[in-house]
Structure 1
Amino acid sequence: MARKIGLYGILAYFLYGLFFYWYLFYFADTSLPFEYQGTMADPATFLNGRELMLSEEFSRIRNLLFFLAGPFEWLFYLFILLLGLSRIFKNWAVSSAKYKWLQTPIYLIWLSVFSFIASFPLSYIGYSLSKSYHISTQSFASWMKDELIDFWIGYGWLLITASVLYWLIRKSAKRWWLYAWLLSVPFTLFMVFLQPVIIDPLYNDFSPLKNKELEAKILEIAEKADIPADHVFEVNMSEKTNSMNAYVNGIGANARIVLWDTTLNKLSEDEILFIMAHEMAHYVEKHIYFSIVKSLLFSLLGLYLAAKLMNWCIRRFGPALKIPSIQDISSLPLLLLLLSMLTFVSDPLSHAISRYQETRADRYAIEMTRDAEAGITSFQELTRSGLSQVNPPFLVKFFRYSHPTMLERISTLEEYAVKEKRRKE
């Protein structure tokens, strides 16, 4: 049974990868509809021939890596179970520590190390791809540092959640998923509060914006939006990437307005003010809080389904997966596999909600700045710096895009500019 499951798993992954390779490289049509050709949304009007070619190449390979990464993680967890490695990790933990409270951390370090090693090739290919297309400017040493920070943060998160989850499972095998979700609510809010001041600085250095004249103008917009911020922060991202970003994160007194230095270097003042008005719209329209609620609702449904599916899998395939019971820590890879699959399935709905919020934020920025031209040129520069596709394939947008496509964003701004011009005439 274990051999058959493993064979089917490899075959399914191969066919899945083959389908997306065919879809992205041979089937998907990314050309613009006729009515958009020659408009400001047409990449041929603001990208040269080489940039057009590179954006298509880069996007296809990057999208293929995305579609391969998730199912590869599922295949990894599946083989950790089928080969009995999860049970071996548990036995090593038991033989290494006589105290039970030490056994879970030891089990998890083995699982985390094997996961890191298995996922490293795809991660490195992604890094090399960005480097070769001049998106990333990060040295290998700096990239590895970030990877190791990710590893230890991930391990710490896994240690906390797995310890609590399996304690709850042993206490209540039927309702552990509900108790776990209830505990996740205050923890999620706590993490959102800490993110700007604890987590983000582990990766990059933040400092007050040096351009005080620009800071005053941004804070003026922030005051209109009732954002409790006394400073605008800039972060030195040019040592890692050529792409651009800006954001407002945190809640309450911990709200932070942040600009990447690449954004400061590549965009004009009017373009920066448009981007910042867009980001502040998320705060004004409470998108941060809606996102928290959405995340909690999705996690409630996800934990419930994972619990049901986990019980079914153990009843049906327990011996093949080398899992004696749901209470056993060796069942953790199965839980992680199921949660990852459920996340993948739910992402399209989550992204659709996010795209709606981003559309609202674009409209807010237009109304706040009355400068559609600055919005158009900023989106054009974002496309150029990230080698993004203006009109991505349907499945890419469906599974990947948390923002509207650049075709949609730029054409909306262009329509607004035309209407404003007619109104003034």
Structure 2
Amino acid sequence: MARKLGFYGALAFFVYGLFFYWYLFYFADSSLPFEYEGSRADPASFLNDRELMLSEEYSKIRNLLFFISTPFEWIFYLFILLFGLSKAFKKWAEQTAPYKFLQTAIYLIWLSFFAFIATMPLSYISYSLSKTYNISTQSFSGWMKDELIDFWVNYGMMLLLVSVLYWLINKSRKRWWLYAWLLSVPFTLFMMFLQPVVIDPLYNDFYPLKNKELETKILDLASQAKIPAEHVFEVDMAEKTNALNAYVTGIGSNSRIVLWDTTLNKLTEDQILFIMAHEMAHYVEKHIYIGIGGYLLLSLLGLYLTAKLMEKAVDKWGRALKISTVNDIRSLPLFLMILSMLLFISSPLSNLVSRYQETRADRYAIEMTKDSKAAIETFQELTRAGLSQVNPPPLVKIFRYGHPTMLERISMLEEFEMEQRKKERDQTGD
């Protein structure tokens, strides 16, 4: 049975990878619909021939890496179970430490280490790809430092979560998923509060915006939107990337509006103000809190389904997977595999909600700034800096895009321009 599961798992992964290679490189069409040709959404109007070629090449390879990476995680956890490594990790932990918490810590360090080694080739390929196409400016040592920080931050959180999770499973085999979800609510809010001041500074340096004149204009926008902001933060990203970004993070008193220094260096003041108005829209329309609520609802359903699927998997394939009961720490790879699958399956829905919110934020920003020229040029520059496709293939958009495509964003702005001209004509006519 173990051999059969391994064979079919590997075969499914191979066929899946082959499908997406064919889809992205031979079938998918990212060309612009003819009605948009010559418009400001047409990449040929703001990218040169070399940039057009590079954006297509880079996007295809990057999208293929995305679609391969997630199921690779599933096949990794499956083989950890089938080869008896999860059983071995538990045995080593029990031989090394007398206390349950320490045994969990040792088991988890082995599992995390093997996962780190297994996924390192794909991570390095992604890093190397970004360097080759001049997206990343980060040195190898800097990249490895971030990878190691990731490892230990994830390990620390996993140790806490896994220890509590298996304590709950041992206490209540039927309702552990509900109790785990109830505890996840304050934990999620706490991590959102902690993220800007504890975790993010591990990776980059944050400081108040140096350009005080620009900060004053941004804070004026915030005042118009009734946002009680006192500072705008910039983060040193130029040593890592040429890409542009700005975002809102945190909740409560720890919420921040953050600008990458690459954005400050490459965009004009009007373009930055449009981006800031967009980020403020997320605060005004409470997208962060709506997102937290949606995440918690999905996590409730996800934990319930994970509990049911784990029970069925152990009943049917427990011997092959070398798992006797769900409450055994050896079942952790199965838990992580099922949860990852459910997250992947639900990503089209979460991306759809995110794209709706981002569209709302774009509309809010253009109505606040009234500067469609700066807005369109912002999206054109974002496309150039990230070598992104203006009109990505449908499956890429569904599974990868939490923002509207650049075609949709620029087209919306052009429609806004036409609406404004019509209003002006109507007023003049009156």
Q: Same fold (TM over 0.5)?
A: yes
What is the percent sequence identity of the aligned residues?
73
Distance, in Å, in 1 between the alignment partners of 2:325 and 2:380 is 54
Distance, in Å, in 1 between the alignment partners of 2:402 and 2:290 is 15
Distance, in Å, in 1 between the alignment partners of 2:270 and 2:251 is 27
- Paired AA for residue 336 in structure 1: L
Distance, in Å, in 1 between the alignment partners of 2:228 and 2:255 is 7
Residue 150 in 1 paired to residue 150 in 2? yes
In structure 2, stretches of 5+ residues that fail to align are 426-430
**TM-score normalized by structure 1?**
0.99
User: Which residue number corresponds to residue 93 of structure 2?
Assistant: 93
Report matched runs for 1:30-179 at 5 Å: 30-179=30-179
- Tell me the secondary structure at the aligned position of residue 117 of structure 2: helix
User: Which residue number corresponds to residue 295 of structure 1?
Assistant: 295
What is the CA-CA distance between 1:265 and the residue it aligns to? Answer: 0.6
What is the CA-CA distance between 1:8 and the residue it aligns to? Answer: 0.4
Residue 268 in 1 paired to residue 268 in 2? yes
Distance, in Å, in 2 between the alignment partners of 1:203 and 1:15 is 37
User: Which residue number corresponds to residue 216 of structure 2?
Assistant: 216
- Paired AA for residue 203 in structure 2: Y
| Residues paired across the two proteins, number | 425
What is the CA-CA distance between 1:101 and the residue it aligns to? Answer: 2.2
What is the CA-CA distance between 1:415 and the residue it aligns to? Answer: 1.1
User: Which residue number corresponds to residue 314 of structure 1?
Assistant: 314
Deviations 1:187-236 (A, max 9, x none): 10111111111111110001111110000000111122232221111111
User: Which residue number corresponds to residue 198 of structure 1?
Assistant: 198
User: Which residue number corresponds to residue 247 of structure 2?
Assistant: 247
User: Which residue number corresponds to residue 19 of structure 1?
Assistant: 19
- Paired AA for residue 252 in structure 2: G
Residue 386 in 1 paired to residue 383 in 2? no
Which moves more between the two structures, 173-182 or 97-106?
A: 97-106
Distance, in Å, in 1 between the alignment partners of 2:214 and 2:418 is 29
User: Which residue number corresponds to residue 231 of structure 1?
Assistant: 231
- Tell me the secondary structure at the aligned position of residue 257 of structure 1: strand
User: Which residue number corresponds to residue 373 of structure 2?
Assistant: 373
- Maintained 8 Å contact 1:43/1:52: yes
User: Which residue number corresponds to residue 428 of structure 2?
Assistant: none
RMSD after superposition: 0.7
Distance, in Å, in 2 between the alignment partners of 1:158 and 1:236 is 28
User: Which residue number corresponds to residue 405 of structure 2?
Assistant: 405
Report matched runs for 1:281-360 at 5 Å: 281-360=281-360
**TM-score normalized by structure 2?**
0.98
Distance, in Å, in 1 between the alignment partners of 2:259 and 2:99 is 48
Distance, in Å, in 1 between the alignment partners of 2:28 and 2:299 is 33
- Maintained 8 Å contact 1:354/1:403: yes
- Paired AA for residue 403 in structure 1: H
In structure 1, stretches of 5+ residues that fail to align are none
User: Which residue number corresponds to residue 4 of structure 2?
Assistant: 4
Distance, in Å, in 2 between the alignment partners of 1:354 and 1:259 is 20
User: Which residue number corresponds to residue 364 of structure 2?
Assistant: 364
- Maintained 8 Å contact 1:248/1:256: yes
- Paired AA for residue 317 in structure 1: W
What is the CA-CA distance between 1:56 and the residue it aligns to? Answer: 0.2
Distance, in Å, in 1 between the alignment partners of 2:98 and 2:308 is 33
What is the CA-CA distance between 1:421 and the residue it aligns to? Answer: 2.2
- Paired AA for residue 64 in structure 1: L
- Maintained 8 Å contact 1:228/1:252: no
- Tell me the secondary structure at the aligned position of residue 376 of structure 1: helix
Distance, in Å, in 2 between the alignment partners of 1:98 and 1:300 is 34
Distance, in Å, in 1 between the alignment partners of 2:141 and 2:227 is 37
- Maintained 8 Å contact 1:318/1:324: yes
- Maintained 8 Å contact 1:73/1:337: yes
Distance, in Å, in 1 between the alignment partners of 2:64 and 2:216 is 43
- Maintained 8 Å contact 1:234/1:259: yes
Distance, in Å, in 1 between the alignment partners of 2:312 and 2:282 is 41
- Maintained 8 Å contact 1:229/1:255: no
- Tell me the secondary structure at the aligned position of residue 243 of structure 1: coil
